Amino acid sequence: MRKLLKNGWILTMDESDHEYRHGDIVIEDNKISYVGPAKDHENIDDIIDASECLIIPGMVNTHCHVPMMPFRSLGDDCPDRLRRFLFPLENACMDKKLAYVAARYGMAEMLLSGITTFADMYYFLDELAKAAEEMGIRALLGESVIDQPSCDARNDEEGLALGEAFIAKWQHHELVRPILALHATNTNKAQTFQKAMKIVEKYDTLLMSHVAEMDYEMTYFAKTYGKTPIGWLNDIGCLNERLLAVHCIHLNDEDISLMAENHVKVAHCPSSNLKAGKGIAPVRDMINKGLDVGFGTDGASSGNTLELFSLMRMFAGAQKTKYHDRSLFPAQKIVKIATMGGAKALNMDKEIGSLEKGKKADIVMVSLEGVHMFPQHDPYSLLVYSANAADVKHVFVNGKQVVNDRRLAISLTKLRQDLAANMEDFDKKAAELSKTIK
């Protein structure tokens, strides 16, 4: 099966950022077999007109909790909502069924906005994997292990066991790549980190964890160990190229150097961090030291929308403002982080992240027809400062078209109905909690 995307404005995001103002892409099975100037092609089964589109690599979301859809727009501006809303509601209401229908809904949102790969930390992973298979999205899924009762494990030991079993089961899947996740440096013990690291070494995969996110986390580590969380991770032998450290808001220069020396990967979540008023991660300095940084939406409870367009714009504003420098992170570099940056952070840059011959056909076509997408002096500026998720027109994952003219194969109404039907208990308890807090 050979599909031709004809005459689009291609931003390859390859090593040299090659661009084709009038270019073609040929998809052969699940891979890209041609990227270059528009020309004649033979043996094409299907042609898609790309003349009013930017064509970019599928975007990469390096951090999410996709089943947290039920939490969107709940208690957004409430202090310490993690302990006041999130943990109690999760433990009371999150089950296999809700995780499954919510994950499908969240995956729909990602696909519709051009995210073709995401990395997730949550519970009920078999449900998530099944959902990813059905929706046709590339998913790195890690069981969330925490040192307290969670919705699918009584303690961290059980969580680790679940996590390892999941990895063993799904390790050779085409779309699902199993990883492992620890909730956070301040909610897990040193031994749990060490055991988890052994597991990810054994299966050659990643360990995702929230790190250096909370004020009270920083205080705790300073008081207890006289260290930063990064320093502590280094001491316990868990700072290495398998660690995907999420948030990393509160880093000092020594932390950044340590992370760079040890090739730690970073998932940066500006939309989530800004809404929480937690601070702006020093991404300029991380990248200057050579760290691989990708963008993460975080869950819909924290980042609200599972898309990278508004995130890229917020990222630009936050970094330029933090360092008082308009020229910092020009738009092209930001699109790079959203694509190749994410692929590198997930150790997948050999397969995805750019439009190159031989890579997996994860491709997004962004319409230039919207009122806000003109004039077109700079396509990267349009993507970062103008575009929104509704501009995404066609999306391919692993060679298969999953979004066609802004629609999924499955009806969005159906996905929403399924989610709503499983949220009755959640809504009741959420309303009760909201009252006690106001």
Note the residues at the interface with a copy of itself (CB under 8 A).
Answer: 69-70, 72-79, 105, 108-109, 112, 270-271, 273-280, 304-307, 310, 313-314, 316-318, 320-321, 323-331, 370-372, 374-379, 381-382, 385-386, 388-391, 412, 416, 419-420, 423, 427, 430, 434
| HSE-up (13 A, CA, CB side) for residue 2 | 10
Is residue 112 a contact partner of residue 403, using CB atoms and an 8 Å limit? yes
Shortest distance, position 231 Cβ to a copy of itself, whole Å: 23
Shortest distance, position 279 Cβ to a copy of itself, whole Å: 7
Q: Which is nearer to a copy of itself, 71 or 170 (CB)?
A: 71
Shortest distance, position 301 Cβ to a copy of itself, whole Å: 11
Q: Which is nearer to a copy of itself, 122 or 380 (CB)?
A: 380
What is the dihedral sign for C-alpha 416, 84, 435, 270?
negative
Q: Which residue has the tokens 């990393």?
A: 248
Shortest distance, position 207 Cβ to a copy of itself, whole Å: 28
Report the length, in residues, of the chain: 438
Shortest distance, position 330 Cβ to a copy of itself, whole Å: 4
Shortest distance, position 309 Cβ to a copy of itself, whole Å: 8
Q: Which is nearer to a copy of itself, 79 or 88 (CB)?
A: 79
Q: Which is nearer to a copy of itself, 59 or 181 (CB)?
A: 59
Q: Which is nearer to a copy of itself, 84 or 263 (CB)?
A: 84
| Structure-block tokens of residue 370 | 């919207």
Q: Cα–Cα distances in Å, from 422 out to 13, 126, 179?
A: 41, 18, 27
Determine the Cα angle at 437 with ends 431 and 438, to 5°.
90
Question: Which residues pair with residue 64 across a beta bridge?
Answer: 120
Q: Which is nearer to a copy of itself, 202 or 414 (CB)?
A: 414
Q: Which is nearer to a copy of itself, 236 or 328 (CB)?
A: 328
Q: Which is nearer to a copy of itself, 62 or 302 (CB)?
A: 302
Shortest distance, position 73 Cβ to a copy of itself, whole Å: 4
| 3-class secondary structure, 127 | helix
Shortest distance, position 190 Cβ to a copy of itself, whole Å: 29
Q: Cα–Cα distances in Å, from 204 out to 99, 171, 201, 222?
A: 27, 10, 5, 32
Quick check: bond before 375 cis, omega within 30?
A: yes
Q: Which is nearer to a copy of itself, 38 or 314 (CB)?
A: 314
Shortest distance, position 64 Cβ to a copy of itself, whole Å: 14
Q: Which residue has the tokens 């207890």?
A: 224
For residue 103, what are the contacts with CB-CB under 8 A and spacing of at least 6?
Answer: 66, 67, 69, 122, 127, 128, 131, 132
For residue 146, what are the contacts with CB-CB under 8 A and spacing of at least 6?
Answer: 156, 159, 182, 183, 184, 187, 188
Angle 96-112/412-421 helices, nearest 10 degrees?
A: 150
